[in-house]
Structure 1
Amino acid sequence: MYTSMNPAYIIVLLTMLASWLIQRRLQSKFEQYSQVGLQSNLSGKQIAELMLADHGITDVRVISTEGRLTDHYNPADKTVNLSEAVYADRSAAAAAVAAHECGHAVQHATAYAALQFRSALVPALSAVSKFMPILLFLGVIMLNNTPLPLAAGVALFALTTLFSFITLPVEFDASKRALAWIDRRGIVTPQEHAMAKDALKWAAMTYVIAAIGSLATLLYYASFLMGRRRD
């Protein structure tokens, strides 16, 4: 049986710390860039609607959602959901977020392969998420008797790890589309563009560290199985 000094366990702890630090940095950056008013004086809602219109997308609604940094695109009901601050704000941060979420709408409209693959995984993930934690917990406890529950839990967790890594190109591409459009459309000045790019970079880092953390956790549980085979 592996101890707490298992390298994968250490990586899990380090990624948890890194995730907390990156979240703090992200919040700090968005707070900073939220104070910088756009010279174009467009709100997040107006920017989102303009980007959708420029890409010929007429069946997606832009709506406000509660919370902070809760912005997302929902392909199921075709809505760009902007947090209350981003929806009404007229800042570099709001421009970055609004355009990024519309980038996902553009991906959806153009059948971007990575987004389609990620969306196809969602039903399976919703189903396995109910059983995976139980299987992993029982699997570790029952490992001396049988490896089957843990093996099943690891297999299901591998699906969540795959989802985390598929999310990376989806997020990077949405940011790339967003930055190119706000620059081409003259939504931001060069200085505001640099702020928007920096904000999206830190937002992307949260997905990177989440993927690394998921992989480390997968390896941690898998190491119990490998350790049992060597016993």
Structure 2
Amino acid sequence: MYYNSSPVFLIIILATVAGWLIQWRLRSKFNQYSQIGLQSGLSGKQIAELMLADHGITDVRVISTEGRLTDHYNPADKTVNLSEAVYAERSAAAAAVAAHECGHAVQHATAYSALQFRSAMVPALSAVSKFMPLVLMAGVLLLRTTPYPLGLGILLFSLTTLFSFVTLPVEFDASKRALAWIDKRGIVTPQEHSMAKDALWWAAMTYVVAALSSLATLLYYVSLFMGSRDRR
């Protein structure tokens, strides 16, 4: 049986285009919602500190980081890193991002299983990412001679794909926690809640597309590997 990799390659192209469009839409949404002032008057920093306090988390710092949409939670040093705009802004977009990143801090504090699993994968992925591209490249170049280097590359790349899919429940859960808290705490009005939810949905879609793109790429390499074996 001959494995045709063309359909999988087409999926990769479509996923890449979809990823670009979603990133554009995400930035557009955040720009739009950043222009609308929050009625509560709280900044992203204040919202983050309040959410942490409400969950009894006292060992996590809220700090400002350079860039735009560079917001993240670092479990290693227990910091909620908010981009400069989110840190100081008083908007629905800032509220959504600040609460979302604190959602990860809450996951960490409550030993959320998916986050623990993802964190446990990080050291291995850091080591693998250094030489995985070279292994895959060598595997493709040597495919007519031997399939084993590509097989090793596929094994390594599968870890990356697994990580991208493990990330999905972590991100969706953090958004769920964020939206529930800002609503219950009265941080946002119903209209602002809708904007925050919309912004977080588009942010989540970037992870979904990334996971599907990673899976398509993995299947592409698998199809090359299986095709080479069938031609022997």
Structure 2 counterpart of 1:201: 201
Matched AA of 1:21: L
3-state SS of 2:94 partner: helix
Structure 2 counterpart of 1:52: 52
Within 5 Å, give how 1:8-47 maps onto structure 2.
8-47=8-47
Report the more deviating stretch, 217-226 or 47-56.
217-226
Superposed CA deviations along residues 143-194 of structure 1, whole A, max 9, x for unmatched, are 1111111000000000000000000000000000000000000000000000
> How far is 1:111 from its partner?
0.1
* Runs (4+) off by over 2 Å: none
The whole-number CA distance in structure 2 between the counterparts of 1:86 and 1:159 is 32
In the superposition, the TM-score normalised over structure 1's length comes to 0.98
Superposed CA deviations along residues 9-50 of structure 1, whole A, max 9, x for unmatched, are 110000000000000000000000001101000000000000
> How far is 1:135 from its partner?
0.6
3-state SS of 2:39 partner: coil
The whole-number CA distance in structure 2 between the counterparts of 1:225 and 1:160 is 18
Judge conservation of contact 2:42–2:90 (CA < 8 Å) in 1. Answer: yes
Structure 2 counterpart of 1:125: 125
Task: State, as a whole percentage, how many aligned pairs show the same letter.
Answer: 79
Structure 2 counterpart of 1:218: 218
Report the more deviating stretch, 128-137 or 5-14.
5-14
Matched AA of 2:139: G
Matched AA of 1:174: A
> How far is 1:2 from its partner?
6.7
The whole-number CA distance in structure 2 between the counterparts of 1:153 and 1:230 is 19
3-state SS of 2:188 partner: coil
Structure 2 counterpart of 1:106: 106
Gap runs ≥5 in structure 2: none
> How far is 1:199 from its partner?
0.1
Structure 2 counterpart of 1:187: 187
Structure 2 counterpart of 1:69: 69
3-state SS of 1:130 partner: helix
Matched AA of 2:129: S
Superposed CA deviations along residues 40-93 of structure 1, whole A, max 9, x for unmatched, are 000000000000000000000000000000000000000000000000000000
Matched AA of 1:204: A
The RMSD of aligned alpha carbons is 1.0
Superposed CA deviations along residues 111-158 of structure 1, whole A, max 9, x for unmatched, are 000000000000000000011100100101101111111000000000
3-state SS of 2:130 partner: coil
